[in-house]
Structure 1
Amino acid sequence: MDRDEVRELLERVSSGSETAEGALRTLSQGPLSGAGGTGAGTEDLGFARLDTHRALRTGDPEVVYGAGKTPEQTVALLEALRRQPGRRSAVATRLPDATLEAVAETFPGARIDPVARCAAVGGQPAPRGSVLVVTAGTSDEPVAREAAFVASEFGCSTRIVRDVGVAGIHRLLAVRDELDAADCLIVVAGMDGALPSVVAGLVGNPVIAVPTSVGYGSSFGGIAPLLTMLNSCGPGVMVCNIDNGFGAAVAAARMTRRMVRADTDTCACADAGTDAPVPVGR
């Protein structure tokens, strides 16, 4: 369960549509004790200790990092995540080919992106806020697809604008309106890594820059674009690690979630006839 789901549960208790005992039973089956585990908020699978409490602490459940795990281990972790109460999907990233095949066979309804090397099992949350993923070139596609996949599973309406790198600046200028319309931008680039700085100079949206390991020898496997992005002249650029589409997506989803909630609370306050916005805290 994530924080929104716990809040809904508490509101049902407050309204009388749910008993305190029923709410306690729901919580005890989820984030407050590991189902079959050895400690509060965990489920011990022997090879891994699943964090079942993370969604309540942070708003987002644990995600399975598939690299270095066997297909059987990844499947077992996804099954354990699906046993937890709540509506959020179980997500795995960086999946080898054999694991992608195992997930598809075990979970027939799974959403799988072989380019992103990601999979998700279970229902998607209703989208709140929009994230636009922007790529400098086609070679950045795997990292961009990872970002888009995770952002969608974390509750964002997500699109990708492809191949608008600075080598042909007119391509970027042609999509400026799309950039401006998004709540948050994830800008993915290798080579010289200049694209996020240019984007930040065109629009006022939050920009999360993701350097990729795409480039010739002097890009040093993504270090050159990473340093360019860290030294960006464009204000407001936040930088993730090399090829870290996952981290960028989580950051973008959390920001857009806060934005949408703040807008909703402010509108509710205006409807009530007061000038002061309702405090937004978690």
Structure 2
Amino acid sequence: MDTAYLEKLLYQVKNREMSVGQALESFKTLPYEDLGYANIDQHRNLRTGQAEVIFGEGKTPEQIAGIVSHMIKNNERILVTRADKQDYQAVMQTVPEAEYDETARIILIGGKPEPVKTKGPIAVLTAGTSDIPVAEEAALTAEYLGNEVDRIYDVGVAGIHRLFGRLDRILKADVVIAIAGMEGALASVVGGLVQVPVIAVPTSVGYGANFGGLAALLSMLNCCANGIGVVNIDNGYGAACLASKIRIGK
């Protein structure tokens, strides 16, 4: 942030040339921080309620560490998705207290906040164990955003009694994230059982005709149950962001 710009704002507020509300509004349009290889949106949290998250895939470990080193100045907590161990090792050179979850491929800095208590948690469901990496990306992101999460894994329709055995927990949720590969039938079944929004996440898990998750995606888009939204293939992060906005508004 430009120090001169901040001093000017403080002067205007102090001398009643500008209200606190007007000063706050001006922060929403401040320019990004240009690193040459990345433009950091340091004020996204102020505008949208969710801080910028670093998508690690395709970036070098050095680029990720560089972005983190600048974001940490203005953010107590930072999330990096689709990161590997090399990325984590580079980040640790800047922020030694960073944590890494290998299953979710997430680097977390600053820990998880205390969850906002509402009627119920976000229930994260998977059809199979193979869907857990996507589910953990969703669960950890939801917790990073301040949500209570209930993980309910391996309850796919191939053994539907497993789903009914967890139905009491599912019915307590404010939002359900249903994650499935193969034909993606879990979302449709869950959508016919609950009163709350269901966010369907197709995964790339499946044999050849699954087409890398396309079959599950199309199946979820064609669900006959009501109240189901669908995010992109393997997009646990996006599902968590949407679920958080539904549950606590951010």
Q: Which residue of 1 aligns with 2:46?
A: 56
SS of the aligned residue for 1:40 comes to: coil
Q: CA deviation at 1:44?
A: 1.0
Q: Distance in 2 between matches of 1:217 and 1:179?
A: 31
> Which amino acid letter does the alignment assign opposite residue 236 of structure 1?
G
- Please, which of 44, 50, 58 is the counterpart of residue 68 of structure 1? 58
Aligned residues: 231
Write the mapping of 1:124-203 to structure 2, written as runs, cut at 5 A.
124-128=112-116, 129=118, 130-203=121-194
Q: Distance in 2 between matches of 1:182 and 1:111?
A: 28
CA RMSD in angstroms comes to 2.5
Q: Which residue of 2 aligns with 1:90?
A: 78
Normalised TM-score (structure 1): 0.76
* Higher RCO (CA 8 Å, separation ≥ 6 residues): 2
Answer whether contact 1:137 1:189 (CA < 8 A) is retained: yes
- Structure 1: stretches of 5+ with no match in the other structure: 1-19, 34-38, 260-282
Q: Distance in 2 between matches of 1:28 and 1:73?
A: 32
Answer whether contact 1:193 1:226 (CA < 8 A) is retained: yes
Answer whether contact 1:104 1:112 (CA < 8 A) is retained: no
Q: CA deviation at 1:217?
A: 0.6
- Please, which of 101, 116, 141 is the counterpart of residue 89 of structure 2? 101
Answer whether contact 2:139 2:149 (CA < 8 A) is retained: yes
> Which amino acid letter does the alignment assign opposite residue 94 of structure 1?
R
Q: CA deviation at 1:168?
A: 0.1
Answer whether contact 2:124 2:178 (CA < 8 A) is retained: yes
Q: Which residue of 1 aligns with 2:99?
A: 111
Answer whether contact 1:135 1:161 (CA < 8 A) is retained: yes
- Please, which of 248, 251, 257 is the counterpart of residue 239 of structure 2? 248
Normalised TM-score (structure 2): 0.85
- Please, which of 26, 37, 42 is the counterpart of residue 32 of structure 2? 42
> Which amino acid letter does the alignment assign opposite residue 44 of structure 2?
R
SS of the aligned residue for 1:143 comes to: helix
Matched residues, percent identical?
47
Q: Distance in 2 between matches of 1:104 and 1:141?
A: 26
Q: Distance in 1 between matches of 2:32 and 2:99?
A: 26
SS of the aligned residue for 1:181 comes to: coil
Matched, 1:122 2:110: yes
Q: Which residue of 2 aligns with 1:36?
A: none
Q: Distance in 2 between matches of 1:106 and 1:171?
A: 44
- Please, which of 228, 232, 236 is the counterpart of residue 227 of structure 2? 236
Q: Distance in 2 between matches of 1:145 and 1:24?
A: 43
